[in-house]
């Protein structure tokens, strides 16, 4: 019996080791967390300047060759549209990479408009959650997506803390994720500002190096005391984003999730990823050990044999 | 089936032809030793088959519809709720309910508790089918299901939890195929294959434990990507994977109890005495394991709340819903199991098991669907989505039953025609071979 057990132990250990080596590179890559490029570009969105003209929506539609909208871009009644029992405003989807929403926060006589698009996070949740690595954070700061490898699990949509990516559910044979790509292919790559920034008549969108944008933002806050909330949304949120916002109203009153932490999403998952190699390393030896112990005990009172007999099991255990 | 057995039909359970007038061919095994007419007759007499027929008549065209016209025609195509019922139920609930394979494998093979052997094969099969159908649910849900192998061969996202899930579920599926193949090899009569698997059984079981620990946990860890979306009571950044792993233990064990209960009620003709006589004892044993795991689960759930200091949420509406889930899905079964074990009331343990299964399914649905986006709005799945989910579950039941009818899962395959198993054959032949039908009739009577 012990001969067989030893052989089994070896076999099990080998299996365990194989599994461990298999997981080796996994861990190594997982540990090398990504922290964004220092020279990345970004956009500062100043909500106090935005007049809700929706030109950016139109420009994006054209630049990204998206389908024509149901209602024209100069139809401002679209701001009255709400969904799901009036709780939700419009959001980016497969037909629109960016949308502008209107808010009427208390204590402000003017409505506030907010443009929504992908924020191009420094440590994008969509990127880290994707199991085929469809996303790339480019040197310029854009988070782009490769539809050639996407399987369509939509984990990135679960993960995105800003609910940005949309999915072309209506396509049966080639559904893909659709989201703002910072106009990477057509503009950003060549050092040009994105289409929506270019067209904005109010200069509500400022394109530039992220670190410069932070300076500009802080300057505006300082030179116009009382005009802004003293906070740049996106400076630290979820590890920082390339697109950042200035606002005159508290951010949670104009559609932002003010409760997000400053930790990138991936940090939540690191606890678990860290335990993986542990389990792989410890479990095989531990359970094979249990097995040998159990075997020994069973041998003492002939438990095995008894049961074998009574069950007529040909188990091949002996 | 019962009436056929009463009328003297022998159900196939051996390679040896005791009638000598017919071939023991593959077809014969497939038809359970019945004639075509008899087989069809028993299938048509079973009202359950008619229910299945109705489900398939509606559901199968809908599945075709989904693949031809895209997800948007059968789901709400929601960008806020990317994962609907297919994953919320099909993946997140089916996988824990299928933890039975590795649980019983560990109990029997590793801890040497051979007294659980009568239900081991059932548990292994339950595991295999559960995983298989979780993958099928996934295939229905994926935007581009034909790319399912991509994470293995085309493009790697190794920092992603889902990458781990994909690899582990794929590997574990093969492990389970190997484990269950023992029964298949017996059935087709290829003993070489069977002996080979028996020899590597420990290796398989240990790798099963590793893979299960990791991917059961990983399914929980998937929600760590959405810390703001899942309600805090169902979410714990540090403990999510332990919660999922720990609750998969009672889920798997109780699923075996639940399935065996159904089998006992509806399929007793297919079980041998070894299974039927030991089932009550095994049920109580499993219940004991499940109740210990449930207690652990309850404790770590409380620790999870305490750790993140979420007590205040308990006073809200969500808190009431959470307390309901805990009271019905966890505390109630613990009490039932405790009482059942003390007073040896098997029926009560069975009720407890069904409730536990319900509780775990509820927990997974709560995490993935009901409390997901609790700050946004509540998504109610599209009716077609519900129908497709039910249809796939019905296919699961049919495949499950198909295998149980045939492979030696619930009964012991008799008369191994090889010297290595001569002792067995000798034991089995004289006693059983001649009288299975009579035995079956007795069983029906008592
Ligand atoms: S905002 Fe969402 S989609 Fe855009 S980079 Fe961040 S996580 Fe990805
Ligand atoms: S849906 Fe596509 S891009 Fe998103 S995580 Fe899945 S495979 Fe990656
Ligand atoms: S950056 Fe380009 S893709 Fe993104 S919203 Fe602006 S125009 Fe659209």
Q: Where are the domains of chain A?
A: 41-263
Q: Is the CB of A92 under 6 A from ligand 3?
A: no
What pTM value is reported for the model? 0.84
Give the length of chain B: 446
The pLDDT value given to residue A225: 82
Closest CA to B356 of B393, B322, B396, B325: B325
A205-209 β-sheet, strand order: A205-209, A41-46, A243-246
Closest CA to A49 of A108, A114, A117: A114
Q: How far is Cα B407 from Cα B185, in angstroms, rounded to an integer?
A: 9
B128 within 8 A of B169, measured Cβ to Cβ = no
Q: How far is the CA of A169 from the centre of ligand 1 (A)?
A: 19
The pLDDT value given to residue B420: 39
Tell me the pLDDT tens digit for each residue of A284-307: 888 888 888 877 765 544 444 333
Pairing outcome for strands A112-116 and A135-137: unpaired
A311 within 8 A of B274, measured Cβ to Cβ = yes
Pairing outcome for strands A135-137 and A243-246: unpaired
Its sign, for the CA torsion B132, B133, B137, B140, is positive
Mutate to test the interface with A, among B14, B107, B115, B157 (most CBs of A within 10 A): B157
Within an 8 Å CB–CB cutoff, is residue A16 touching chain B? yes
A101 beta partners? A114
Q: Is the CB of A125 under 6 A from ligand 3?
A: no
> Which of A88-92, A277-281, B411-415 shows the lowest mean pLDDT across its residues?
B411-415
- Cβ burial of B376 (10 Å; 0-12, 13-18, 19+) is middle
B295 within 8 A of B334, measured Cβ to Cβ = yes
- How far does the CA of residue A298 sit from the closest CA of chain B (Å)? 7
Residue carrying the six token digits 């003390």: B342
Q: How far is Cα A318 from Cα A304, in angstroms, rounded to an integer?
A: 9
* Domain at A41-263: CATH architecture: 2-Layer Sandwich (3.30)
Both tokens of B298, joined, read: 């309850």
3-class secondary structure per residue, chain B: CHHHHHCCCCCCCECCCCCCCCCCCHHHHHCCCCCHHHHHHHHHHCHHHHHHHHHHHHHHHHHHHHHHHCHHHCCCCCCCCCCCHHHHHHHCCHHHHCCHHHHHHHHHHHCCCHHHHHHHHHHHHHHHHHHHHHHHHHHHHCCCHHHCCHHHHCCCCCCCHHHHHHHHHHHHHHHHHHHHHHHHHHHHCCHHHHHHHHHCHHHHHHHHHHHHHHHHHHHHHHHHHCCCCCCHHHCCCCCHHHHHHHHHHHHHHHHHHHHHHHHHHHCHHHCCHHHHHHHHHHHHHHHHHHHHHHHHHHHHHHHHHHHCCCHHHHHCHHHHHHHHHHHHHHHHHHHHHHHHHHHCCHHHHHHHHHHHHHHHHHHHHHHHHHCCCCCCCCCCCCHHHHHHHHHHHHHHHHHHHHHHHHCCCCCCCECCCCHHHHHHHHHHHHHHHCCHHHHHHHHHHC
A42 within 8 A of A244, measured Cβ to Cβ = yes
Give the length of chain A: 318
B226 within 8 A of B374, measured Cβ to Cβ = no
pLDDT at A42 exceeding the cut of 60 = yes
Within an 8 Å CB–CB cutoff, is residue A304 touching chain B? yes
Within an 8 Å CB–CB cutoff, is residue A318 touching chain B? no
Beta-carbon contacts of B10 under 8 Å, excluding residues fewer than 6 positions away, are B18, B19, B33, B436, B437
The pLDDT value given to residue B236: 85
Within an 8 Å CB–CB cutoff, is residue A154 touching chain B? yes
The pLDDT value given to residue A29: 42
| Burial profile B74-109: b = 16 or more Cβ within 10 angstroms, e = fewer | bbbbbbbbbbbbbbbbbbbbbbbbbbbbbbbbbbbb
The pLDDT value given to residue B407: 85
Q: Is the CB of A150 under 6 A from ligand 1?
A: no
* Cβ-defined contacts of A22-27 (< 8 Å, 24+): A23/A276, A23/A277, A23/A280, A24/A277, A25/B158, A26/A276, A26/B158, A26/B163, A26/B164, A27/A273, A27/A276, A27/A277
Q: Is the CB of A182 under 6 A from ligand 3?
A: yes
Q: Do B147 and A149 touch (CB under 8 A)?
A: yes
Continuous segment of H or E residues that includes residue A315: none
The residue whose CB lies within 8 Å of the most ligand 1 atoms, and thus the one to mutate among A120, A182, A264, is A120
- Cβ burial of B330 (10 Å; 0-12, 13-18, 19+) is buried
Q: Do A155 and B110 touch (CB under 8 A)?
A: no
Atom of ligand 2 nearest to the CA of A129: 5
pLDDT at A311 exceeding the cut of 60 = no
- pLDDT tens string, chain B, 446 residues long: the values are 656 665 656 666 655 544 444 455 666 677 777 777 777 888 888 888 889 999 999 999 999 888 988 888 888 878 889 998 999 999 999 999 999 888 888 888 888 888 888 888 899 999 999 999 999 999 999 988 888 888 887 888 777 888 888 888 888 888 888 888 888 888 887 877 888 888 888 888 888 888 888 889 889 989 999 888 999 899 988 888 899 999 999 999 999 999 999 998 888 888 888 888 888 889 999 999 999 999 999 999 999 888 888 888 888 889 999 999 999 999 999 999 999 999 989 999 999 999 999 999 999 999 998 989 888 888 888 899 999 999 999 999 999 999 988 888 888 776 544 433 444 433 443 333 333 443 443 343 33
The residue whose CB lies within 8 Å of the most ligand 1 atoms, and thus the one to mutate among A94, A118, A242, is A118
Q: What is the dihedral of CA B134, B137, B141, B146, to 10 degrees?
A: 80
Beta strands in chain A (DSSP E): 41-46, 99-103, 112-116, 135-137, 143-145, 166-167, 177-178, 205-209, 243-246
pLDDT tier at A23, thresholds 50, 70, 90: very low
Q: Helix crossing, B240-266 with B201-221: angle to 10°?
A: 120
Q: Is the CB of A41 under 6 A from ligand 3?
A: no
Q: State the Rg of chain A over Cα.
A: 28
The pLDDT value given to residue B32: 73
Q: Classify A135 as helix, strand or coil.
A: strand
What is the rounded average pLDDT for all residues in chain A? Answer: 82
Q: Is the CB of A248 under 6 A from ligand 3?
A: no
CA angle A19–A25–A30, rounded 5-degree value: 115
Closest CA to B363 of B317, B320, B330, B319: B330
A144 within 8 A of A136, measured Cβ to Cβ = yes
Q: What are phi and psi of A106, to 5 degrees?
A: -60, 145
C-alpha pair distances (Å), B164 with each of A26, B169, B331: 9, 8, 32
The residue whose CB lies within 8 Å of the most ligand 3 atoms, and thus the one to mutate among A63, A120, A198, A205, is A63
Q: State the Rg of chain B over Cα.
A: 23
A116 within 8 A of A132, measured Cβ to Cβ = no
pLDDT at A272 exceeding the cut of 70 = yes
Between B316 and A181, where is the model more confident?
A: A181
Q: Do A132 and B412 touch (CB under 8 A)?
A: no
Expressed in angstroms, the distance from the first to the final Cα of chain A is 6
Q: How far is the CA of A158 from the centre of ligand 2 (A)?
A: 10
Beta-carbon contacts of B102 under 8 Å, excluding residues fewer than 6 positions away, are B127, B205, B208, B209, B211, B212, B252
Beta-carbon contacts of A219 under 8 Å, excluding residues fewer than 6 positions away, are none
Q: How far is Cα B4 from Cα B270, in angstroms, rounded to an integer?
A: 12
Continuous segment of H or E residues that includes residue A81: none
């Amino acid at each position: 019996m012990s001969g067989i057990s030893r052989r089994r132990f070896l076999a099990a250990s080998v299996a365990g080791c194989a599994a461990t080596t298999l997981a080796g590179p996994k861990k190594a890559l997982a540990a090398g967390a990504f922290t964004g490029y220092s020279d990345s570009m970004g956009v500062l969105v100043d909500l106090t300047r935005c007049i809700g003209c929706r030109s950016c929506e139109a420009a994006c539609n054209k630049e990204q060759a998206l389908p024509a909208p149901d209602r024209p871009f100069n139809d401002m009644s679209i701001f009255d549209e709400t969904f799901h029992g009036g709780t939700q405003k419009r959001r980016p989807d497969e037909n629109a990479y960016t949308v502008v929403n209107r808010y009427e926060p208390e204590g402000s006589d003017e409505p506030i408009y907010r443009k929504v698009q992908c924020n191009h996070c420094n440590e994008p949740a969509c990127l880290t959650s994707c199991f085929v690595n469809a996303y790339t954070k480019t040197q310029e700061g854009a988070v782009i997506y490769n539809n050639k490898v996407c399987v369509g699990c939509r984990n990135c949509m679960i993960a995105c803390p800003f609910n940005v990516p949309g999915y072309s559910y209506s396509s049966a044979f080639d559904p893909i994720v659709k989201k703002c790509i910072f106009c990477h292919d057509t503009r950003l790559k060549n050092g040009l500002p994105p289409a929506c920034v270019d067209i904005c008549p109010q200069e509500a969108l400022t394109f530039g190096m992220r670190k410069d944008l932070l300076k500009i933002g802080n300057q505006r806050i300082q030179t116009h005391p009382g005009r802004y909330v003293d906070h740049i949304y996106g400076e630290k949120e979820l590890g920082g984003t390339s697109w950042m916002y200035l606002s005159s109203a508290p951010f949670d009153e104009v559609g932002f999730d003010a409760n997000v932490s400053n930790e990138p999403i991936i940090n939540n998952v690191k606890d678990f990823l860290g335990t993986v190699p542990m389990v792989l390393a410890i479990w095989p030896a531990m359970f094979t050990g249990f097995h040998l112990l159990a075997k020994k005990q069973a041998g003492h009172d002939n438990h095995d044999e008894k049961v074998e007999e009574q069950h007529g099991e040909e188990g091949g255990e002996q | 089936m019962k009436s056929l057995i009463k009328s003297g039909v022998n159900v196939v359970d051996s390679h040896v032809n005791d009638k000598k007038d017919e071939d023991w061919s593959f077809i014969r095994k497939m038809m359970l030793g019945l004639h075509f007419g008899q087989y069809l007759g028993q299938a048509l007499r079973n009202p359950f088959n008619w229910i299945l027929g109705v489900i398939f008549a509606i559901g199968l065209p809908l599945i075709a519809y989904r693949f031809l016209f895209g997800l948007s025609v059968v789901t709400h195509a929601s960008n806020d709720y990317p994962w609907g019922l297919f994953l919320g139920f099909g993946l997140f609930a089916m996988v824990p309910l299928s933890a039975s394979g590795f649980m019983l494998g560990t109990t029997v093979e590793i801890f040497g508790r051979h007294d659980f052997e009568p239900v081991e094969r059932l548990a292994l099969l339950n595991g295999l089918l559960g995983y298989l159908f979780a993958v099928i649910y996934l295939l229905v849900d994926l935007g581009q299901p034909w790319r399912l192998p991509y994470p293995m061969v085309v493009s790697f996202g190794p920092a992603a939890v889902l990458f781990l899930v994909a690899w582990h579920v794929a590997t574990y599926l093969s492990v389970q195929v190997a484990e269950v193949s023992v029964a298949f090899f017996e059935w087709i009569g290829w003993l070489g294959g069977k002996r080979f698997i028996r020899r590597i059984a420990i290796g398989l079981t240990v790798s099963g434990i590793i893979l299960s620990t990791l991917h059961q946990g990983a399914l929980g860890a998937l929600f760590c990507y959405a810390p703001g979306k899942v309600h805090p009571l169902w979410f714990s950044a540090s403990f999510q994977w332990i919660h999922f792993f720990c609750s998969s233990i009672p889920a798997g064990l109780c699923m075996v109890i639940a399935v065996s209960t159904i089998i006992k009620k509806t399929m007793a003709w297919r079980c041998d005495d070894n299974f039927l006589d030991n089932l009550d004892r095994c049920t109580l044993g499993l219940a004991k394991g499940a109740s210990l795991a449930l207690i652990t689960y309850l404790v770590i759930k409380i620790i999870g709340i305490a750790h993140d200091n979420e007590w205040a949420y308990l006073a809200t509406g969500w808190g009431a819903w959470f307390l309901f889930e805990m009271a019905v899905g966890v505390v109630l079964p613990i009490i039932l199991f405790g009482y059942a074990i003390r007073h040896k009331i098997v029926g009560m343990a069975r009720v407890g098991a069904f409730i536990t299964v319900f509780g775990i399914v509820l927990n997974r649905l709560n995490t993935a669907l009901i409390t997901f986006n609790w700050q946004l709005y509540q998504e109610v799945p599209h009716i077609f989505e519900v129908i497709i989910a039910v249809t796939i579950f019905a296919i699961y039941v049919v495949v499950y039953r198909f295998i149980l009818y045939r492979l030696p899962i619930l009964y012991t395959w008799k008369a191994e025609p090889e010297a290595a198993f001569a002792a067995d054959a000798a034991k089995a032949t004289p006693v059983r071979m001649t009288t299975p039908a009579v035995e079956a009739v007795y069983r029906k009577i008592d």
